[in-house]
Amino acid sequence: MRVLVTGGAGYIGSHTLLELMAQGHEVCVLDNYSNAVPEVLTRVRALSNGAIMDFAGDVRDPAMLDQVMQAFQPEAVIHFAGLKAVGESTEKPLYYYDVNVGGTLALLHAMERAGCKRLIFSSSATVYGEPVYLPYDEAHPTNPTSVYGQSKLMAERILTDWAAAFPDRTAVLLRYFNPVGAHASAQIGEDPKDIPNNLMPFIAQVAVGKRDFLQIFGDDYDTPDGTGQRDYIHVVDLARAHVAAVTYAEGATGARPFNIGTGQSYSVRDMVAAFERACGKPIPTKQAPRRAGDIAAMQADASRAAAELNWAASHDLDDMTASTWAWQSKNPDGYKGA
């Protein structure tokens, strides 16, 4: 299929391009490079030996969207382009709603003008909020605790209403758990612009000597070792879930949410220990207070994705840490070192 990938130069998008091309899909990227660099696509092209049409532009720009639709005529769109920093979203709510909700609306309008009927959306487990029960299944109540989470839930609602209004539209809502890891080539990976917000890139920067120690946010949670537990998923498994979603979208209509996780969870201390195994050196840590807004634990029930998308994660924790370490140690300054 011809698949337009918004935000395709980003962390998850770049890995997804490779998996799509490996399965014979044609791809086109629209990215405004607000959180990526063009070097990413240079590397993806080298790894895939494939052609990638690409446009530098904003997903909120109708003229740009029309130009892309006309040039590429996508049969499906995977919509990664968005903002993702939970803390920043509270400080800049209008910006987050503009990009994450406004961007999705602008994209849907352009798809309607172009006759494109299938959209795969980057949603997040954060739409669930404080767990009423775990593992979360897709019927768990949604009650996001951040502007970021609200923006994802609003976009889900818009997509659900869009798909309900027309009999032949498809919206696949992928609720990601915690993506980590890097491509096996160590050529592409996660490259945070500033101080990493997330655990795994922070640990990786400590391991490579860019930061002195990891702060462990909270050791008094109701978890076996007192630190927060998450369902970490290898980015290549997550990328493959998008390929599965494209196949699903060919044969299904309506809107449907899917949890994309492994169904297992690990604590902060588990992650530090696994990373130490991968890099062969100690990761210095300091105990710090809980981070505002964090929940104790979360875990996916990913059985719907297994049954309906025919997808399941296959990489384990050691694959996640080893690939992160390979990427970080070969690219200590990320893409900037290129």
- Would you name the residues annotated as active-site residues? 148
Query: Any contact of residue 149 with ligand NAD (CB under 6 A)?
Result: no
Site string for ligand NAD, 42-61 (x = CB under 6 A): ----------------xxx-
Comparing every residue's Cβ against ligand NAD, the nearest one is 10
Tell me the backbone φ, ψ of residue 241, rounded to 5 degrees.
-60, -35
Considering the complex, state which of residue 159 and residue 204 has its C-beta at the smaller distance from ligand UFG: 204
For residues 30 and 4, the answer to whether their CB atoms sit within 8 Å is yes
Question: Which position among 161, 225, 294, 316 is part of the footprint of ligand UFG (CB under 6 A)?
Answer: 294
Give the binding-site size for ligand NAD (rule: CB under 6 A). 26
Question: Which position among 52, 106, 217, 270 is part of the footprint of ligand UFG (CB under 6 A)?
Answer: 217
Could you tell me the smallest distance in angstroms from the CB atom of residue 259 to ligand NAD?
11
Query: Any contact of residue 89 with ligand NAD (CB under 6 A)?
Result: no
Query: What is the β-pairing status of strands 232-234 and 285-288?
Result: unpaired
Helical segments of the chain, H only: 11-22, 39-48, 62-72, 86-91, 93-96, 103-114, 147-165, 199-207, 235-251, 268-279, 303-304, 317-330
Site string for ligand NAD, 163-202 (x = CB under 6 A): -------------x--x-----------------------
Could you tell me the smallest distance in angstroms from the CB atom of residue 78 to ligand UFG?
18
For residues 151 and 89, the answer to whether their CB atoms sit within 8 Å is yes
Our separate counts of H helices and E strands in the chain read 12, 13
Binding to ligand UFG, residues 51-90 (CB under 6 A) = 84, 86
Interior CA angle at 147 toward 99 and 140, to 5°? 110
Site string for ligand NAD, 1-30 (x = CB under 6 A): -----xx-xxxxx-----------------
CA distance 133 to 171: 26
Binding to ligand UFG, residues 186-205 (CB under 6 A) = 197-199, 202
The dihedral built from the CA positions of residue 300, 8, 191 and 338, taken in this order, carries a sign that is positive
Query: Any contact of residue 234 with ligand UFG (CB under 6 A)?
Result: no
